[in-house]
Structure 1
Amino acid sequence: MEKIVLFCLAVLSINMSLAQIVINELDSDTSGIDDLEFLELKSDTSNFSLDGYVVVFFNGSDSGMNSSYLALDLDGYTTDVNGLLLIGSVNVSPIPQYIIPANTIQNGADAVAIYQADETDFPVMTLATIENLVDVLIYGTADADDVDLIDIFNDHPDFTNIQQIDEGGGGETGSIQRNNDGTYTVGIPTPRQLNDGTGIILNGISISTTQNQYAEGDFFDITFTTEQNVASDLNFSFSLNNDTFNTSDFTGNTSLTIPAGQNSVSTTITLVDDNEDEGDEVLKISMGNLSDDYLKQNDKVEIRVVDNDFQMAGFGTPLNPTYGLVSSSQPEDYYNSLEGLSGLVLKQAIQDIVANPSVVRAQTYADIIDILKEADQNPDNSNQVWLVYSETGRAKLDFQTTSSNVGKWNREHVYPRSRGGFNSIDLDEIADGKDVFWTTTADSLRHGNSDAYALRAVDGVENSIRNNQNYGTSEYAGPTGTSGSFYGDVARSIFYMVTRYNGLDVVNGYPGDDPDGFIGDLATLLEWHRNDPPDDFEMNRNNVIYTWQNNRNPYIDNPELVEYLWGNKIGETYSEALSVDNFNGLQMLFYPNPTHNALHIKGVTNEISINVLSVEGKLIDSFIINNDRTINLNLLTGVYVLKCISGNQVISRRIVVK
């Protein structure tokens, strides 16, 4: 029995030595948005099973500390008829057998290695090792040699003269290619082709459509084309399924034949208009298995399907705001503890509410994507988010996932991270939902990185333009030509942040770029707050985020609080009961007074007509309200009279506009 075991081990050892796999080609830095990078492996024999192997990428930077950042388990994969396995994104052509997200492979100085091991043996930040090493390539893109990384792998008895191979730099178009003698050269990339030009030439097949976006009810053609006429009938099938998009969402033939002697075939797909609001979807055109004679030039081609059954909210966008249609979902006694307080004591009492560690939750930075899709939903189209600064909607599906931000939206820190000193941790990249959260306090400044009250959906390019500038005409006041519908929103976000977290402050002027916790300009933000009061969009946003974080932005619920802490009522005693009138037995509240044109009215439960009169009694404007709301008076500085009428009851209020 022992002899049989020894014999089997000997055979296994011989087979492993004969069936070696190496790193054949690497393109880590490509032009443009760097989404064409790939890694190619080569086995000594064709159709070689890669079970038991793993590819590991190591970060050679100072922060990476020569440790792993990605491990790819190769179980279930097999090299092709030429002994090749291509790893890359769907943007690479021909399409790789092993798909990874675009812009994943780092540029260097780094390393990639093959091991006889498992993916679980290399969690993120595993130090580079020579144990079970099969092959390794240390590379750079015009980087200085990573001596430490070279020394680690040179300790292996079979890799005693390792050198760092330079691919080039600045998004060049070359790749590092292994020669038959084990040396390397840099040349034009040759994915899924042997570097010496030999091997079996495969007939490539590609997918094409005339557009990449259609609406429900549209029909379109998909064409499949081979590089060379097929020698015999090529029968194949394809799928359009992806996530929620399935066979119930379209009609059309998905089993096709390219006849012998020809090189293309087309089919017509009709998108079903189902009258259901499923949201915009993406179908993926994915070919089934082809014989070894064929090569997929592209695959998993994405087509946007626009749902025409989107919903509209019952309130306006920030560009066309409504007021009083969305009520605050705050508990009845949420702000009771603020009554009768002033100054720093008032601010502390607010912080005690919004940073209460026994109640308030901190979510991850990845969760913010889901929060913004709900909180920043475009009131005019439920399949879009509303973009702060740009004042327009954008499809929720267009969230930025690669280095290219053109036409995409991402997460904007209204209080920039570099100014607040926020930082991320690995767990921030896990979207685990509202029921999984961190305990947080007023000193948990790191959680400012993922506080939804200070994060907004934003155009990717505009986010880069804003960068970490202060707010104000001397630094950042939004894109040219926009109306400033976001002014009050960002002001109240800043006021929230400097209340919620210790270590942050808002100051007059424009502080420098150091992460010292300061942001400006206070005077600008006060004016923005006064001239752009909370609207229904902002109140709805407050209510949505409350379901995730269990706290609220008090300056949306009670905008007058801003004046008591930074404005014209500093030091005065706060009372929500000020400026109350009895009207049909109801307690009605008008604030602030004096005002900067925005007047908030609370306690309305029936229809009330409000006439705005000059002190001489001349009618200037009129409103009819049925519930709590904010009215924009648009009046010149001066004293005016509000005449409020309900049934046969009339009350008059004198207001001052500053």
Structure 2
Amino acid sequence: MSRVRKLFGYTCLVIVLLLTFVTIDSSKAATTSLTVSQAIQLQNNSVNMVEGYVVGKPISTSTVITSNYSDDYALAIADVSTETNTEKMLYIQIPSQFRPQFGLKSNPELMGGKIKVSGNLTAYFSHPGLKNTTQMLMISSSSNPNEGESNGTYYDNAIGKTGESLKTALHTIIDDHTEISYANVWGALRKTDEDPTNPDNVILLYTGRSQSKYANGSGVNDWNREHVWAKSHGDFGTSMGPGTDLHHLRPTDVSVNSSRGNKDFDNGGTLNGEAPDTYSDSDSFEPRDEIKGDVARMIFYMDVRYEGDSGELDLEVNNVVSNGSAPYHGKLSTLLQWHKQDPVDDFERHRNEIIYRDYQHNRNPFIDHPEWVEAIWN
């Protein structure tokens, strides 16, 4: 009889341990989210949670609408809030219990917001999708697009700080990013600066021209890789680190890039013949109004990212021009003006997200939090 009791006890213990393992494993699965790109690759009917931005309502295999929604039955999510390529979207089936809260006809303000959904990863509208949805959670609204960045914890150590303490905190956060080679910058720029209306093209920084992704090289009308923080300002060249940092590398027209050279940024000069509303003189360059803020925020990023530790250069913004080979860039007062004049736009946000997600795994904090510019350089 005692042997039977022992056997029964051992059996119960094994069952308890198995149940505990299953519970722990299920809990772990429930809290781990896939990206949309991962979910698109994993269309095997497995149950998973996916995290992404609401980008529209699918109505066919290759069509997603962004207004005039006819019903609340489906939505599309992507890894970036500005995605327009349906091949990079996951189609979500919305069951009746979630339609009052997550249907786009009833809640058009969800566009651009970030959500988590769980269900079976399987085709919907003959497109990579998620069906039999069991859970839908709002992470951040479109009115606060940075609320959910990096699961809401990326900038935790910077919140509430100002001045040098804020700058130090941000440097620690964005430091030690993944570096790529200068040769790989070509391919990266084809993704980061893709024309949102033509995926075969990139947008050139100074001219604003949409040009074939593969029309790059040294020809007079080709595009090449512009170092917005001129690489001679610190003499870092094209070495991995500041020389290949995508947060300040942009595709530009070859001849316009040449006319900019290594000049600091400031207002005034002679009108450039190729780039609209662009001026330069012997020691400064003024880009068109639509990208003035973009340029300023790239320069501010470089100042914070490269602070002289780990054998790196200490890059600093100053209030002069003609900085030459010194690790300085100007002109601070003008860049602060440009930052206010030209606020962050969706192209910048989209670019920041791609660099963070696919390449360097760090962000430009002045795109996510423009108010931190004044908090540091007041």
Q: TM-score range with shorter-chain normalisation?
A: 0.5 to 0.7
Distance in 2 separating the partners of 1:477 and 1:534: 25
Q: Which residue of the partner structure matches residue 484 of structure 1?
A: 289
Partner residue in 1 for 2:377: 566
Preserved contact between residue 326 and residue 536 of structure 1 (Cα < 8 Å) = no
Question: Comparing both structures, which one devotes a greater share of its residues to strand?
Answer: 1
Q: Are the equivalent residues in 1 in contact too, given 2:318–2:332 (CA < 8 A)?
A: yes
Equivalent residues in 2 for 1:273-288 (5 A)? none
Counterpart residue number, 1:398: 215
C-alpha distance after superposition, 1:247-287 (max 9, x if no partner): xxxxxxxxxxxxxxxxxxxxxxxxxxxxx9xxxxxxxxxxx
Aligned residue for 1:420, secondary structure, equals coil
CA separation in 2, counterparts of 1:462 and 1:325? 37
Structure 1 residues 477 and 471: CA distance shift in structure 2, 3 A = farther
Question: What corresponds to 1:546 in structure 2?
Answer: 356
Give the Cα–Cα distance (whole angstroms) in 2 for the partners of residues 541 and 420 of structure 1: 25
1:334 to 149, 154, 175: 154
Give the whole-Å Cα distance in 2 for the aligned partners of 1:476 and 1:424: 29
Partner of 2:138: none
* Structure 1 pair 475–564 and aligned structure 2 pair: CA distance change class (3 A): farther
Which structure has more relative contact order (CA 8 Å, sep 6+)? It is 2
Distance 2:271 2:318 in 1: 17
1:389–1:451 Cα change, 3 Å: same
- Structure 1 distance, partners of 2:366, 2:355, is 14
Note the 1:606-625 alignment, pairs <5 A. none
1:509: Cα distance to partner? 2.3
Is 2:292 the counterpart of 1:495?
no
- Which amino acid is the alignment partner of residue 172 of structure 2? D
Identity of aligned residues (%): 36
1 or 2, which has the higher helix percentage?
2
> For residues 464 and 313 of structure 1, what CA distance do their matches in structure 2 show?
32
TM-score (norm 1): 0.32
Within-5 A mapping of 1:216-255: none
Q: 1:481: Cα distance to partner?
A: 3.1
Measured in 2, the distance between the counterparts of 1:331 and 1:542 equals: 16
Query: SS in structure 2 opposite 1:411?
Result: strand
2-side partners of 1:506 and 1:476: how far apart?
Answer: 24
- 1:424 Cα deviation after fit: 3.8
Letter in 2 for 1:526: L
TM-superposed deviation, 1:338: 1.1
Matched, 1:512 2:323: yes
SS at the partner of 2:264? coil
Q: How far does residue 484 in structure 1 lie from its aligned partner after superposition? A: 1.8
Equivalent position amino acid for 2:224 in 1: N
Change (3 A) 1:387 1:418: same
Distance 1:544 1:424, change over 3 A: same
Q: Choose the corresponding residue for 2:242, options 425, 448, 458.
A: 448
Cα 1:476/1:447, change in 2 over 3 Å: farther
Structure 2: gaps spanning 5 or more residues: 1-61, 63-81, 86-111, 113-141, 279-287, 308-313
Residue 345 of structure 1 aligns with which residue?
165
State the alpha-carbon separation in 2 of the partners of residues 498 and 477 from structure 1: 29
- Output the CA distance in 2 between the equivalents of 1:551 and 1:477: 36
Provide the C-alpha distance between the structure 2 equivalents of 1:565 and 1:395, rounded to a whole number of angstroms: 39
Match of 2:230 in 1: 416
Using the alignment, how far apart are the partners of 1:467 and 1:516 within structure 2?
15
Q: 1:455 is matched by which residue type in structure 2?
A: L
The structural deviation recorded for 1:564 is: 0.6
Q: Give the SS at the match of 2:266.
A: coil
Q: Could you say which residue in structure 2 is the equivalent of 1:235?
A: none
Judge conservation of contact 2:163–2:377 (CA < 8 Å) in 1.
no
1:475, distance to aligned residue in structure 2 (A): 6.2
User: Is 1:387 paired with 2:187?
Assistant: no
Aligned residue number for residue 183 of structure 2: 366
Distance 1:448 1:486 in 2: 21
- Asked if 1 retains the 8 angstrom alpha-carbon contact of 2:302 and 2:315, the reply is yes
| Residues 354, 552 of structure 1: 8 Å contact kept | yes
**Letter paired with 1:420:** G
Counterpart for residue 106 of structure 2 = none
Q: Deviations over 1:112-147 (max 9, x none)?
A: xxxxxxxxxxxxxxxxxxxxxxxxxxxxxxxxxxxx
Contact 2:300–2:366 (8 Å) recurs in 1: yes
CA contact (8 A) 2:171 2:305 kept: yes
| Cα distance change of structure 1 residues 538 and 344 upon mapping to structure 2, 3 Å threshold | same
Amino acid at match of 1:473: N
Q: CA deviation at 1:342?
A: 2.1
Q: Write out per-residue CA displacement over residues 297-349 of structure 1, whole angstroms, 9 at most, x where no aligned residue.
A: xxxxxxxxxxxxxxx9549xxxxxxx969945433111111123222111000
Report the equivalent of 1:467.
261
Letter in 2 for 1:334: Y
How far residue 396 of structure 1 moved from its aligned partner, in angstroms, is 0.6
Question: 1:495-522, CA deviations, whole angstroms, 9 ceiling, x for partnerless residues?
Answer: 0000000211111121331x21111111
In the alignment, the residues of structure 1 paired with residue 262 and residue 271 of structure 2 have an alpha-carbon distance, to the nearest angstrom, of 12
Q: SS where residue 182 of structure 2 aligns?
A: coil
Tell me the TM-score normalized by structure 2. Answer: 0.55
- Which letter does structure 1 place at the counterpart of 2:161? L
**Amino acid of the residue matched to residue 504 of structure 1?**
L
The answer on whether the counterparts of 2:207 and 2:276 sit within 8 Å (CA) in structure 1 is no
**Partners of 2:271 and 2:185 in 1: CA distance:** 24
**Offset of residue 379 of structure 1:** 1.2
| Helix, strand or coil at the partner of 2:211 | strand
Q: State the one-letter code of the partner of 1:451.
A: D
Give 1:376 shift.
0.3
CA RMSD of aligned residues (A): 2.5
* 1:389–1:484 contact (8 Å) kept in structure 2: no
Alignment-derived partner of residue 194 in structure 2: 377
Does structure 1 retain, via aligned residues, the 8 Å contact 2:323–2:330?
no
Q: 2:346 matched to 1:536?
A: yes
**Cα distance in 2, alignment partners of residues 410 and 325 from structure 1:** 36
Give 1:407's aligned residue. Answer: 221
For residues 552-588 of structure 1, give each alpha carbon's deviation from its aligned partner in whole angstroms, at most 9, with x where no partner exists.
0000000000001113xxxxxxxxxxxxxxxxxxxxx
Deviation string, structure 1 residues 147-204 (Cα, Å, up to 9, x no partner): xxxxxxxxxxxxxxxxxxxxxxxxxxxxxxxxxxxxxxxxxxxxxxxxxxxxxxxxxx
Task: For residue 154 of structure 2, give the secondary structure of its aligned residue in structure 1.
Answer: coil
Alpha-carbon spacing, 1:556–1:476, altered in 2? closer, same or farther (3 Å): farther
Q: 1:477 to 1:494 in 2, by over 3 A?
A: farther
The letter of the residue matching 1:399 is N
The code of the aligned residue for 2:203 comes to W
How is 1:130-209 mapped onto 2 (pairs within 5 angstroms)? none
Distance (whole Å) between structure 1 residues aligned to residue 254 and residue 144 of structure 2: 29
Quick one: which amino acid aligns to residue 458 of structure 1?
T
Counterpart of 1:510 in 2: which secondary structure?
coil
**Matched residues, number:** 223
Any idea what SS the aligned residue of 1:485 has?
Answer: helix
How many angstroms does 1:474 deviate by? Answer: 4.3
Match of 1:406, SS state, is coil
Is the contact made by 1:545 and 1:552 (CA closer than 8 Å) also made in structure 2?
yes
TM-aligned CA deviation for residue 397 of structure 1: 1.4
- Structure 1: how far apart are the matches of 2:198 and 2:332? 34
CA distance in 2, matches of 1:476, 1:555: 30
For 1:373 and 1:477, locate their aligned partners in 2 and report how far apart those are by CA, in whole Å: 29
